[in-house]
Amino acid sequence: MDKTTEKAPRPNNQTSVFVQRKRTFTLAFLGVAALFVVSAVVTNYEIIGGLESIPKAVIWMAQHFVPNAKAWSRLPYILSKLVETALVSVAVTVCAAICAFFFSLLGTKTTRTAPWIARIVRIIAAFFRNVPDVVWAILLLFSFGQNILTGFFALFFSTFGMLTRTFIETIDEVSASCVEALYATGATSLQTVFNGVIPSSLPEIVSWVLYMIETNIRSSTLIGILTATGIGYLFDLYYKRMDYSSASLVVISIVILVIAIEILSNKIRKVIM
Amino acid sequence: MSELDIAGQPPVSLDIVKYMRKTRGGKIKTATKSKSNRAIKITLFVLLALTIYGFLTFDYKNVDIAKAMAGTWNNVKVLFGQPKLTYGTWGGSLKALFVTFSLGALATIFGAIIAFFGSLLCAKNIANPYVANITKSFVAFIRAVPTILWVLIFTVAAGLGSVAAVIGLTFHSAGYLIKAYAESIEEMDEGTIEALKASGASFWQIVFQAILPSSISRMTAWTFLRFEINFTNALAVGAAAGVGGIGFDLYMAGNHYFDLRELGYITYIVVAAVILLEMIATKIKATVR
Amino acid sequence: MPILEFKNVSKVYNNITKALTDISFSVYEGEFVSIIGPSGSGKSTILRCINRLVDVTQGSIIFDGHDINKADKKEIRQVRKKAGMIFQHYNLVDRLSVIENVLHGRLGYKSVMSGVIGHYTEEEKEKAFQILAMLGLTEQAYKRCDELSGGQKQRVGIARSLMQEPRLILCDEPIASLDPSSSKIIMDHLSDINETMKITCIANLHQVDVALKYAKRIIGITAGQIVYDGPPEKLTRSKIYEIYQSDEGELITDVK
C-alpha cells in the first residue's frame, strides 16, 4: 500500500488528499486486522492448520473423492433424487414468485395503494426474508416430518420474502413513468397493472425467477441434509457411511446441474432483456 | 398529411390497410412479433409445466397436509409467542451468535483477499482474455458446489471445527466477490488505464494507483453485502454440519430437545442480528452509490 | 362558458413546499395556452392538478362541468379520459408495440375486464391506424416503442392522447428532450390538432420563443404565482425577465 507515496512530488493541496486517503486505508486495514484476530480467537481458528488443510483436502479428494464402479451403479438413484430436488426448486420458486408478484403489487407506488398497506407489505416481506430458511426447516419438521413438503415450505417462505422485496423495487424502477401515463388516460389500477406494469417489468421478473431457481437448488441441498429429503439427504447418507465415491458422484451431478441451469438462464436472459 | 380530418371519420384509406397485419380470423393484430416476448412466454410456460409435473410426481409419503399445516400454525404461535430459554443461557446464546458472526467475518476477509487478486485475472479491461476465461470457469465450478458440501468435504480433511467451516464458506465468498469485484473494475474509465500504461506504469502501479482508488468504494459495498450473506450461511452450516455457533444451537433446540420455545428465543436473537446487518449493509450501499 | 377554470388554487407538498399559491385562470374551448416559467415554478403541478394526478390543497378546479376536487373515482376516470396528456419522457410502455400503446388511450372507455385482457374493437384499431397515419407513423405500427427515436416516441404519445377523443390535451414539456427538428415536428402537429380538430391545448414549455410562436395565449408563472396572463404580442422583454427572474442575456432561447 506504500506505493501511493512513490510518486513525484505534488502540489500541497493534493498531497493532503493523499495523506488523508492513506490514513483512511491504514485505519481500515487495522480495523480489518483486529476483526480478523478477534474472530480467529473466538472461533479457535488455526491459521496454519487452515492453510495446511487445503493441500490435504485436495490430496484426499484425489484419492477418495472419485466415483468408482459401485458409485456408478447408484447413478440412476442419484439422478432421480437430483431431478426431484431440481423440480422442488422450480416449483418453490414459481409458487413463491406468483404469490410475491401479487403481494408486491400492494407494496409498490405504481398501484397507489394506501401508504399504510404498502408499509405492512414491506414489513411482512422483511419478516419472511430475515427468518433464515434453516429456522423454517427445523420448525416445519415438527409437523411435516421428513417430507418433501418440509423443504418446500422452508424454501417457499424465504423465497417469497426475498422476491417480494425485489419485485417491489423492480416494478417501482421500471414502470413508474408508463404507469403515470396510463392513469392519465383514465385506466383503472387493474388495467394499469396488466397493460403497463406487467409488460414493462416481466423480463426483469423472469430474470430474478431464474436466479432464484439457481440459488434454491443450492439451498435445497442444505435443507435436504436438515430435513432428510432430496439430494442433500443422499449426500449426507453416503457421507456418513464413508462411501465417499458415491458422495463424490452426488457432488458432480449437482455441479453439472447447477452449471447447466446457469448457462441456460444466461442464454434466456440475453434473449429477453 | 391528407387524412388530417379524423373527427369526420373518413373511410379507411387503402394505403393504411396495407400496413395492417391481420389474424386468420381477419382481425387486426396489435402485438409485435418479438423474439424476446416469445422467449418470455416459452420460459414461463416451461416453468409452469415443470411445477405442475413436480407437484404430480412428488412423493408426499401420505402426509396429512391440512393437519400438518394446522400443527405448523400452532407451532409458529408458540415459537414466536412464547420464547423461553431452558437449555441454554442468554450469555451462551450471545457467545454463540458471536462465533457465527466471526465465522462469517473470517470467510469474508479470506474471500475478499482471494477475490481481489482473482478479479484482476478476470476483469475484461485489464486481464488476458484467455486467463480470464479459465478463471471464470474455475469460479463457476467452485460456485456450483453448495457451501454445505464444501464444509463437509473439508471436515474430513481438517476435522470438524472452524477450519472446515471457514474454508467452506470462503470458497463461495471468493467466487461471489471475484465476479462482483471484476464488475467494479470493469466499470472504471478505460482512458485512465490506457494513460497510465502509456506513461510506462507497471501492472501493480496501475492496480494501486488507478484501479484500487476508483473501485474501492464499490468493492467495499459488495464485501459488506457478502458479509451479510456469509452470516446467514455460517448459521446454516452451523446447523447442518454441526460446526458450532448459534446455528448449532438452533439445530439442538429443534432437532434434539424438540423445544419450540427455546427455538423461538434463539430465532429472535438471530433475526435481530440479521436485520441489524441488513440495515448496516443498506446504509453502506447507499453511501457508496 | 370556459372549458377549464382554476379558482384560487393552492398546492402545498408535504405541508412545507409551496408549489402553487392562489392560482386563478380560465381556458376557453379551442385555445392554445402555453405556460412558461423557470423549472420548479409549478408548471407541471398545474397540469397534474387538472387530471388529479396531484390533489390540490385549496381552491377548486372545474373542467368540463366536473368539480375535480370533489370527484369520486368514477368521475375522475370521466375527467381523465377527456383530458389527454403527453409527457417530456413520453411515458410509453417501451416493450409493447406502437399500436398497443396508442390503444391504451381507450382504457378509460372500457370495462375493467376488457381493459385488463386488452380487448379492443376493430373500429378502435382502425381509428388507431388512422391517427398513426395522420402523424406519419403507419410504418412503425408494429415496432416496439424502444426501437423508436425520441421524436417518434412523442408522436406515439400524441396518438395515445388523441385516441382518448379528448377535449383538452395537457402537454408537459413535450419537446424538452428533443432536438430542434423533431421539436418543430411535434409543435406543428400540436398546432394542427388544435386548429383542425378544435382540441384545447395547454402546454408547459421552457423555451420562450417556441411558446411565443405557437401559443395564442401565454401564462407566465414564477414561484407558484401567475405573473403574466395574456397574448404573446403583449409579453414584453422585461416581463419575460421578471418571469424567469434572470438578468438580460441569460434567457433560454435554444430552439428557433
Confidence check: pLDDT of A17 > 80: no
B274·A132 Cβ contact <8 A: yes
* Closest residue, chain A, to C48 (C-alpha): A184
The β-bridge relationship of strands C168-172 and C217-222 is unpaired
Pick the CATH number of A69-272 from 1.20.810.10, 3.40.50.180, 1.10.3720.10, 1.10.10.10: 1.10.3720.10
B205 φ/ψ sector (left φ>0, alpha ψ -120 to 50, else beta): alpha
CB contact under 8 A, B33 and C142: yes
Q: Are strands C83-86 and C66-67 parallel, antiparallel or unpaired?
A: unpaired
Q: How many domains does the structure of chain B reveal?
A: 1
What span, in angstroms and rounded, lies between the C-alpha atoms of A181 and A272? 24
pLDDT digits (tens, 9 = 90+) for A235-255: 999 999 999 999 999 999 999
Q: Is the per-residue pLDDT at C15 higher than 50?
A: yes
* Residue B289 confidence (pLDDT): 54
> What local confidence, expressed as pLDDT, does residue A193 receive?
93
pLDDT at A10 over 60: no
Q: Which of B215-219, B261-265, C168-172 has the lowest mean pLDDT?
A: B215-219
CA dihedral C81, C87, C89, C91 (to 10 degrees): 0
Domain ranges of chain A: 2-64, 69-272
Residue of C nearest to A177 (CA): C91
Task: State mean pLDDT over A128-141.
Answer: 91
Instruction: Please indicate, yes or no, if residue B271 is contained in any of the structural domains.
Output: yes
**H/E stretch holding B284:** helix B260-288
Question: Would you say residue B44 lies in a domain?
Answer: no
Name the grid cell of C31.
Answer: 385555445
Give the mean model confidence (pLDDT) for residues A142-153. 91
- Model-level pTM? 0.87
Q: Which of B137, B96, B12 is nearest to A263 (CA)?
A: B137
Q: Which domain holds residue B148?
A: 90-288
- The answer to the question of residue B73 being in a domain is no
Contact A65 B208 (CB under 8 A): no
Grid cell 454441526 in the structure block, residue: B242
Q: What is the DSSP letter of C38?
A: -
The answer to whether residue B274 sits within a structural domain is: yes
The CATH code belonging to domain C4-244 is 3.40.50.300
Would you state the pLDDT for residue B215?
Answer: 86
What pLDDT, on a 0 to 100 scale, did the predictor assign at position B288? 61
Q: How many CB atoms lie within 10 A of CB B2?
A: 9
pLDDT of A15 > 70? The answer is no
Is C115 in contact with A184 (Cβ distance < 8 A)? no
Average pLDDT over residues A260-264: 94
Residue B2 has pLDDT above 50, yes or no: no
d(CA A271, CA A263): 13
Closest to B30 (Cβ–Cβ): which among C99, C138, C192?
C99
The continuous run of DSSP H or E covering A60 comes out as helix A47-64
Q: Percent of chain B having pLDDT more than 70? A: 94
Cell of A4: 501511493
State percent of chain A over pLDDT 90: 66
**How far is residue A61's CA from residue B135's CA, in Å, rounded to a whole number?**
21
Nearest chain C Cα to A193, which residue?
Answer: C116
pLDDT digits (tens, 9 = 90+) for C116-151: 998 999 999 999 999 999 999 999 999 999 999 999
Contact list in B for residue C142 (CB cut-off 8 A) is 21, 29, 32-33
Q: What is the pLDDT of residue C247?
A: 56
Of chain A, the percentage scoring pLDDT greater than 70 comes to 94
Cross-chain Cβ contact A185/C53 below 8 Å: no
Give the pLDDT confidence score for residue B206 in this predicted structure: 85
| B263 found inside a domain | yes
Mean pLDDT, rounded, for B212-234: 89
pLDDT at C253 over 80: no
- Dihedral angle computed from the Cα positions of residues A182, A184, A185 and A190, in that order, rounded to the nearest 10 degrees: 50
Would you state the pLDDT for residue A14? 54
List of chain A residues whose C-beta atoms are within 8 Å of the C-beta of residue B153: 57, 61, 65, 251
Tell me: pLDDT of B1 over 70. no
Distance CA A195, CA B182 (A): 38
Cα B137 to Cα B175: distance, rounded to the nearest angstrom = 10
Place of cell 419450540: B260
What single-letter DSSP state applies at residue B29?
A: P
User: Can you name the residues that pair with C12 across neighbouring β-strands?
Assistant: C18
Q: Among A177, A186, A202, select the one facing C91 at the smallest CB separation.
A: A177
User: A181, C77: Cβ pair inside 8 Å?
Assistant: no
CA distance C4 to chain B (A): 22
- C206 falls in which pLDDT band (50, 70, 90)? confident
Q: How far is CA B42 from CA A170, A207, B27, C69, in A?
A: 22, 13, 24, 46
Q: For residue A220, what is the nearest residue in chain B, using CA coordinates? A: B146
More confident residue, A49 or A30: A30
Mean pLDDT of chain B: 86
Alpha carbon of C21: minimum distance to chain A alpha carbons (Å): 24
User: What pLDDT shows up at residue A6?
Assistant: 44
Q: What pLDDT does residue A5 have?
A: 41
**Cα–Cα distance, C24 to B245 (Å, whole number):** 69
Confidence grade of residue C240 (pLDDT, cut at 50, 70, 90): confident
How far apart are alpha carbons B205 and B178 in whole angstroms?
20
| Chain centroid offset of residue C19 CA | 18
Tell me the ipTM for this assembly. Answer: 0.90
DSSP element (H, E) containing C171: strand C168-172
**Nearest-by-Cβ selection for C142 from B7, B10, B21:** B21
Digit-coded pLDDT (tens) for A175-234: 888 999 999 999 999 999 999 999 999 999 999 999 999 999 989 999 999 888 889 999
- Asked if the C-beta of A95 comes within 8 angstroms of chain B's C-beta atoms, the answer is yes
